[in-house]
Structure 1
Amino acid sequence: MSTNNRIGSWVVIASIAITVTACKSLKIHYKEENKYTPEAYQSSKDTTNTGEVKWKTFFHDQYLIALIDTALKNNQELNITLQEIAVAQSEVRAKKGEFLPSAGVGVGAGLEKVGEYTRDGAVEKNLPIRDGKAFPDPLGNFTVGLNASWEVDIWRKLRNARDAASSRYLSTIEGKNFMVTNLVAEISNSYYELMAYDNKLEILKQNLEIQKNALEIVKLQKTAGEVTELAVKKFEAEVYKNQSHLFYLQQQIIEAENRVNFLVGRFPQPVARNSAAFQQMVPDTIYTGIPSQLLQNRPDIRQAELGLTASKLDVKVARANFYPSLRITAGVGYQAFNVKYLITSPQSLLYNIAGDLVAPLINRNALKAKYAAANAKQIQSVYKYEQTILNAYIEVTNRMSKISNLKNSYDLKQKQVDAMNQSITISTNLFKSAKADYMEVLLTQRDAIEAKFDLVEIKQEQLSNMVSMYQALGGGWKQ
């Protein structure tokens, strides 16, 4: 072996030794995630879970079901997310392609004139004459062949990168599922809000009729000298105030309708609904199951878990960048100075195969920075995953408490409304017989409207909380 060859061999061996020694000091500092959840919600260990129910079964209002079904096809935000999934899928295919050998076919043609007193010129001048003719000058060069290149995945760098891309692809799917749950909940809440506005509008119209009748009575009493002009103006002002509020509610209805239309992905149009049945709607019983089921049912938890998996693989890929990489290249084809000799075997046949072992010796700071960043992102993913679990559990417990509190509030508010309805009749009769002041009538009517509005709002909150509870348990994304 020549001295130069020996020096080259020692350089290669030393490079590998330095690289491997340096890599031993690079330890993977994983932070393990904590998947702990309490054993039960409020001591109940029943595994029946409403979150596992499909949304078409959970909802009973056919108008609402039709809106959700249309939104899942036409909602622009959801369709944008679907394209993000396609992008992530393409990245997986790209990573798989890096793992596999690459091959290509090449065809080339060229013409070269070299100086006679150069090495190539001297060689050509002394070549024997072929077929009675000297080699042409200038000399042609025609090539056709196949070339292949393959990086041998010794340290699983390429496979880990592929698996990380796959985890991110699955994460985007879970992200889409989480968006579906949010979309279903948002449409439902907007739909119930619209129905609540309809009921408020109807309540206001009914009370306006009562107030107009009371105004006529006051006018007659003023003519009879039983009350002053002040009483008439007070009743007129109350009627005008509520007539003005009618237009406010009508605007709220238009905006609520258009929120639904936007989510459904269509231009403004009337939203079909049965608002007359709103007050009779009773929230369904929700079965919470056990907290550990959140890990499987909630798409945002599954998305965070897949992101955590990908970040762990990224650390391994960043660490593998410090190790030598082995690339094998090969080629086979034909080459000749004249086209008629191009496919002559074996004279024009050529082939080559080579292996390159490359280890990073300089610019290691950049590799170390990427490695440190990958470690930090992995730890960040752990915290995000644990935060998502904690948030999910708190959401469920908050909504569980809200169910009972809203029910108690609604029952008491219903009793208040019943009492106020009776008060309106009583105060009006007493006023007619001059046994009550006109202000008592006005205040009673105001209190009655407020109580009825409050009752509608509590009913809306009950229905919205039912949907939010279903969403918090991971329901709404299963078709």
Structure 2
Amino acid sequence: MKQHKKINPWIHLAVLVFLTSCKVHQDALKTDISIPQKFEAEAPLLAIDSVKKITETPEKWQTFFKDPILVQLIDSALVNNLDMQIAFQKVQQARAGVQYTKGIRLPDLGVNLGAGVRRFGDYTIDGVGNYDTKFSTNLNNKQQLPNPIPDFYVGVYSTWEIDIWGKLKAKKKAAFSRFLAEEQGRNLVITNLISEIAIHYYNLMLLDRKRAIIAENILLQENALQVVGFQRDIGKSNQLAIELISAQVLAAKTLLMEVDQEIIEEENTLNFLLGRYPQPVFRSEFNVMPELTKNELPGIPSDLLGNRPDILTAAYRLKAQNADVKAAKAAFYPNLTLNANLGYQAFRAAFLFESPASIAYNVVGGLVTPLLNRRALKADLMASKASQQEAYLNYEKTILQAFTEVYQLVKLDNNFESRSVVKNEQVALLKQSVETSRTLFSSGRAGYLEIITSQENYLRSQIELLEIYRLKNQNNVHLYKALGGGWK
């Protein structure tokens, strides 16, 4: 009969472990995405990886905003704003996760102090055996067992999971990436806060200017009312002209009260962002020249998007999910754990620290791997892969949204520049028309309707010009934020 050689059972176990573990290999998703090199309709593609260092960075906010009062307000908000404080606490929570995983690959070491007592029954194996030791000639008096038996132990213990497959390293990397993501989330709060403060501050300046314009127009309308009243007295005008111009004055005064209410609302919003209760907000007077912000738009490279906190946050979250997938895959592999104890142990306290007689130690190593019913591991891996894919799509979506945002803001800036030039010409002409209508009315060559129309058009054009200035400055702030500025 043919004889078969016996195969070592350890070889069977090793093969089984290998077959159950080798199916889970998968490369991590990359974080680089190709985008146009310039913010133009047709431009060559450029690979952006926001987790790499970007050489070009936007200007610091301390020099981007030219108003010294605004700079002081931003400094105050960065300290007192409640959203900033909440974001800081989130960073601290993520830092705790990093601290937890900092020594995850190193052995645990602790101290063990123990004391106890145990009595064996007279009709048990241990009880009979311990009683027989009293008559043994191999034991001295110190080694005689009392009944009940005390047990004293003082020593150290250590537990170490050896990271063969990189599971613990992946968990450590995931925790660190989440910490970096939270830090960038805090930077996103900073840049949003700075932009909101700047926008509301500029709105207040423009509202002050708007109020001054309305007040000036009210004086012009009241002067026109006096002229029409004089013309009525000499029979060259009528009561209808007086009533229409008086109604125009009242409408302007109502508009003035609306502006006062808007100023109160803007101040309250700004005070809330500053982390303080409602109070007057000191501000500079509005001046068209020079501009309130500093933007250099020509030739903006698209890799500046790598400075955006939202893109950095999405990138680090993707890296964290990549690490989670690696850890989930490594869970299918065997775990190698070492446990050790070293100390003094005795059944009498007086003999506890006798060395080397009372020294006790043990070392145990274990290799554990899942073979059957691995549903939990498979579900965890499936969920990790889905989260990884979600993080990648969110990262790609964030980059696409950022590029589109900057592209639109650049185009809007050019549009506002052209509109402001045209509107300034219109305001200058309508201002002259107010003087012309009065002169013609005084000489009887124009009616009161021309005065009313010219004054209404002049006031409306001035307010429209202010709105263009507001939108232009707001666009500059948004563009600065969209390029990753405001948090450095």
Instruction: Determine if the TM-score, normalized by the shorter chain, exceeds 0.5.
Output: yes
Mapped contact 2:302–2:403 kept (Cα < 8 A): no
For 2:161 and 2:445, locate their aligned partners in 1 and report how far apart those are by CA, in whole Å.
100
For 1:417 and 1:434, locate their aligned partners in 2 and report how far apart those are by CA, in whole Å.
26
Indicate how the Cα distance of structure 1 residues 167 and 82 shifts in structure 2: closer, same or farther if over 3 A, else same: same
2:104 alignment partner, SS class: helix
For 2:57 and 2:102, locate their aligned partners in 1 and report how far apart those are by CA, in whole Å.
36
The partner residue of 1:106 within 112, 115, 132 is 112
Identity of aligned residues (%): 38
For 1:453 and 1:16, locate their aligned partners in 2 and report how far apart those are by CA, in whole Å.
82
Mapped contact 1:111–1:140 kept (Cα < 8 A): yes
One-letter amino acid matched to 1:377:
S
The partner residue of 1:179 within 189, 199, 205 is 189
For residues 377-388 of structure 1, the aligned pairs below 5 Å read 377-388=387-398
For 1:14 and 1:212, locate their aligned partners in 2 and report how far apart those are by CA, in whole Å.
104
For 2:427 and 2:230, locate their aligned partners in 1 and report how far apart those are by CA, in whole Å.
29
- Asked if 1:407 corresponds to 2:405, the answer is no
For residues 353-432 of structure 1, the aligned pairs below 5 Å read 353-432=363-442
The partner residue of 2:35 within 34, 37, 40 is 37
Indicate how the Cα distance of structure 1 residues 44 and 58 shifts in structure 2: closer, same or farther if over 3 A, else same: farther
Residue by residue over 1:398-431, the C-alpha shift from the partner in whole angstroms, topping out at 9 and shown as x without a partner, is 1211121111100110111111111111122223
Name the residue aligned to 1:453: 463
Residue by residue over 1:242-280, the C-alpha shift from the partner in whole angstroms, topping out at 9 and shown as x without a partner, is 212212111111111222222222222222211242565
One-letter amino acid matched to 1:385:
Y
Mapped contact 1:305–1:385 kept (Cα < 8 A): yes
Residue by residue over 1:353-405, the C-alpha shift from the partner in whole angstroms, topping out at 9 and shown as x without a partner, is 00111112344112111111111121222222222222222222212111211
- Asked if 1:23 corresponds to 2:21, the answer is yes
Name the residue aligned to 2:48: none
Tell me which protein shows more helix as a share of its residues: 1
* Distance apart, 1:169 and its partner CA: 1.1
For 2:228 and 2:317, locate their aligned partners in 1 and report how far apart those are by CA, in whole Å.
71
One-letter amino acid matched to 2:321:
S
Mapped contact 1:49–1:289 kept (Cα < 8 A): no
More displaced stretch, 262-271 vs 326-335:
262-271
More displaced stretch, 324-333 vs 112-121:
112-121
More displaced stretch, 116-125 vs 426-435:
426-435
User: How many residues are paired up?
Assistant: 469
More displaced stretch, 84-93 vs 14-23:
14-23
For 1:438 and 1:49, locate their aligned partners in 2 and report how far apart those are by CA, in whole Å.
65
* Distance apart, 1:192 and its partner CA: 0.8
For 1:198 and 1:114, locate their aligned partners in 2 and report how far apart those are by CA, in whole Å.
93
One-letter amino acid matched to 1:315:
V
Mapped contact 2:31–2:315 kept (Cα < 8 A): no
Name the residue aligned to 1:244: 254
- Asked if 1:339 corresponds to 2:349, the answer is yes
Indicate how the Cα distance of structure 1 residues 142 and 62 shifts in structure 2: closer, same or farther if over 3 A, else same: same
Name the residue aligned to 1:3: none
Residue by residue over 1:273-299, the C-alpha shift from the partner in whole angstroms, topping out at 9 and shown as x without a partner, is 112425653653414555342253222
* Distance apart, 1:206 and its partner CA: 0.4
TM-score of the pair, normalised by structure 2: 0.89
More displaced stretch, 280-289 vs 303-312:
280-289
1:353 alignment partner, SS class: strand
For 2:214 and 2:123, locate their aligned partners in 1 and report how far apart those are by CA, in whole Å.
107
For 1:451 and 1:133, locate their aligned partners in 2 and report how far apart those are by CA, in whole Å.
108
Mapped contact 2:112–2:157 kept (Cα < 8 A): yes
Mapped contact 1:15–1:359 kept (Cα < 8 A): no
- Asked if 1:192 corresponds to 2:198, the answer is no
TM-score of the pair, normalised by structure 1: 0.91
Indicate how the Cα distance of structure 1 residues 380 and 252 shifts in structure 2: closer, same or farther if over 3 A, else same: same
Name the residue aligned to 1:67: 73
The partner residue of 2:88 within 82, 86, 95 is 82
For 1:440 and 1:392, locate their aligned partners in 2 and report how far apart those are by CA, in whole Å.
50
1:25 alignment partner, SS class: helix
For 1:55 and 1:139, locate their aligned partners in 2 and report how far apart those are by CA, in whole Å.
75
Per chain length, whose mean CA-contact separation is higher, i.e. which structure has more relative contact order (CA < 8 Å, sep 6+)? 1
* Distance apart, 1:321 and its partner CA: 0.8
For residues 252-401 of structure 1, the aligned pairs below 5 Å read 252-278=262-288, 281=291, 284-287=294-297, 289-401=299-411
Name the residue aligned to 2:50: none
2:476 alignment partner, SS class: helix
One-letter amino acid matched to 1:365:
R
* Distance apart, 1:143 and its partner CA: 1.3
Mapped contact 1:16–1:359 kept (Cα < 8 A): no
Unaligned runs of 5+ in 2: 1-5, 45-53
Mapped contact 1:177–1:299 kept (Cα < 8 A): yes
* Distance apart, 1:472 and its partner CA: 1.7
2:416 alignment partner, SS class: helix
Mapped contact 2:297–2:410 kept (Cα < 8 A): no
* Distance apart, 1:16 and its partner CA: 5.2
For residues 136-147 of structure 1, the aligned pairs below 5 Å read 136-147=146-157
Mapped contact 2:67–2:292 kept (Cα < 8 A): no
* Distance apart, 1:456 and its partner CA: 0.7
Indicate how the Cα distance of structure 1 residues 290 and 243 shifts in structure 2: closer, same or farther if over 3 A, else same: closer
Name the residue aligned to 1:220: 230
1:37 alignment partner, SS class: strand
Mapped contact 2:153–2:346 kept (Cα < 8 A): yes
Name the residue aligned to 2:102: 96
